[in-house]
Amino acid sequence: GAVVSQHPSRVICKSGTSVKIECRSLDFQATTMFWYRQFPKQSLMLMATSNEGSKATYEQGVEKDKFLINHASLTLSTLTVTSAHPEDSSFYICSAIDRTSSYEQYFGPGTRLTVT
Amino acid sequence: GEDVEQSLFLSVREGDSSVINCTYTDSSSTYLYWYKQEPGAGLQLLTYIFSNMDMKQDQRLTVLLNKKDKHLSLRIADTQTGDSAIYFCAESSLETSGSRLTFGEGTQLTVNP
């Protein structure tokens, strides 16, 4: 099946710094990518929808200035957590839609962010 | 808005069948999915079913859809310890939400040897 990668898999940063997470579709082109946040033992919470070449659409309650999303190509979307705080510590997962098959959504392995 | 519900826990013995249930509220759901998540990992798409289908079988997995009752189930035959994970039910509606997925809370499947 289709493969989505995320980098880094784990990151620890100090409070006040910014962290960039990359999401790549490795063997397909993705017109749409999604960013999720998952708290321990909970379901996935959609943060934003990222369409290639246009601005991301953020879910209600998600600060667009804090979680910057860039989808510059059909295979790469990035999420930057700006001025990170301990409450931003979480598991961030991206997913991508294969442009040839709009109903199949493939997920990355996730990025564990810890803010100290 | 859309809502998807699952029971939180299921425990079975190795070799038995597991049945994970899911209910949803969106009558315009187009696709329904089952994802598997192992600890510290992302989600693995196991299978999906189009809303005009009643059943789909793929090796040890059988998906049943009762559209009238908005009930979806995933049956895993001959459950193995490697099947222990969290299973998420999800739905999408091309009509109302496009490709966005609405997830259930996840069912923790524990397989005992």
Nearest to B43 among A103, A107, A112 (CB): A107
On the CB side of B66, how many CA atoms lie within 13 Å of its CA? Answer: 9
Whole-angstrom distance, CA of residue A101 vs CA of residue B106: 25
Tens digits of per-residue pLDDT, B43-94? 999 999 998 899 999 999 999 999 999 999 999 999 999 999 999 999 988 7
Task: Classify residue B29 as exposed, middle or buried by CB count within 10 Å of its CB (0-12, 13-18, 19+).
Answer: buried
Distance from the Cα of A42 to chain B's closest Cα (Å) equals: 6
Tens digits of per-residue pLDDT, A40-51? 888 999 999 998
Interface membership of B107 toward A (CB under 8 Å): no
Q: Check residues A91 and B93 and name the one with the higher pLDDT.
A: A91
Decide: A29 and A53 in contact? Cβ < 8 Å: no
Whole-angstrom distance, CA of residue B17 vs CA of residue B77: 5
B99:A103 CB<8 A? yes
B48:A44 CB<8 A? no
Task: Classify residue A61 as exposed, middle or buried by CB count within 10 Å of its CB (0-12, 13-18, 19+).
Answer: exposed
